Amino acid sequence: MKKLSAKIQDDDADDWKPAPVPDTSSLAALAKAARSCTACHLYKRATQSVFGEGPKRARLILLGEQPGDQEDLAGKPFVGPAGKLLDRALEEAGINRDEVYVTNTVKHFKWEPRGKRRIHQKPNSREIAACRPWLEAELRLVRPKLLVCLGATAAQSIFGPSFRVTRERGKVLESEIAPRVLATVHPSSLLRQPDEESRQREYAHFVADLRAALKASR
């Protein structure tokens, strides 16, 4: 695990440029190029970039926030606790994960040390802007029928900071970056519910949003 002081990260936070995306029609070539991305400072503390995964002809793209601790180590999106819950909800909604393309708004894990733990930090607008060309390239190559934003970071990166997932969830909306977009909550929000009753209620609502996404992608 890389050791960097919080100070280094703060000093570098304003230093960014748009990610250098190669001109290619290959998702594998994009993922390879993203491995050496230094467009913002997040690469310094992350183990590796975590690029999107899934078939090029996927009808759905699922967009999360950023890789978490386990994703950072595995180099794959949504393989940790939130990913396991997402897998269960996808299955219940009748969506085969192998047929969707899963990616993140920001491709490096942003974290701060707390004791021995790596604590997730929300990416800021500069980090999201630096990473944006990768998402644009993924959308250009996959051309999904529907982009599904999981949580506020993903949805606000598409619609702007005033977008509220609570108000707009489950609706098919238009955006500049993708013609059809549906926003829902992030699966990690289900893990943070205070009791079993709200967990079940929120999970059922999430599955219903995924069913709506499947219908809209047909």
Locus of tokens 């893990």: 191
Provide, rounded to whole angstroms, the least separation between the CB of residue 177 and ligand URA: 18
DSSP state string for 117-156: EEEE----HHHHHHHHHHHHHHHHHH--SEEEEESHHHHH
Six-digit token string for 39: 């467009």
* Closest alpha carbon to 89 in 217, 209, 215: 209
Pick between residue 183 and residue 215 the one whose CB is nearest to ligand URA: 183
Provide, rounded to whole angstroms, the least separation between the CB of residue 6 and ligand URA: 22
Provide, rounded to whole angstroms, the least separation between the CB of residue 151 and ligand URA: 7
Question: Which residue's Cβ lies closest to ligand URA?
Answer: 64
Pick between residue 122 and residue 215 the one whose CB is nearest to ligand URA: 122
Provide, rounded to whole angstroms, the least separation between the CB of residue 79 and ligand URA: 7
User: How many alpha carbons lie under 13 Å from residue 156 in its C-beta half-sphere?
Assistant: 17
Six-digit token string for 50: 């975590």
Contact 9, 43 (CB under 8 A): no
Provide, rounded to whole angstroms, the least separation between the CB of residue 83 and ligand URA: 6
Residues of the shown chain interacting with ligand URA in the complex, contacts defined by CB under 6 A: 64-68, 71, 77-78, 80, 82-83, 104, 188
* Closest alpha carbon to 157 in 48, 61, 65: 65
Pick between residue 68 and residue 133 the one whose CB is nearest to ligand URA: 68
Pick between residue 23 and residue 151 the one whose CB is nearest to ligand URA: 151
Pick between residue 16 and residue 109 the one whose CB is nearest to ligand URA: 109
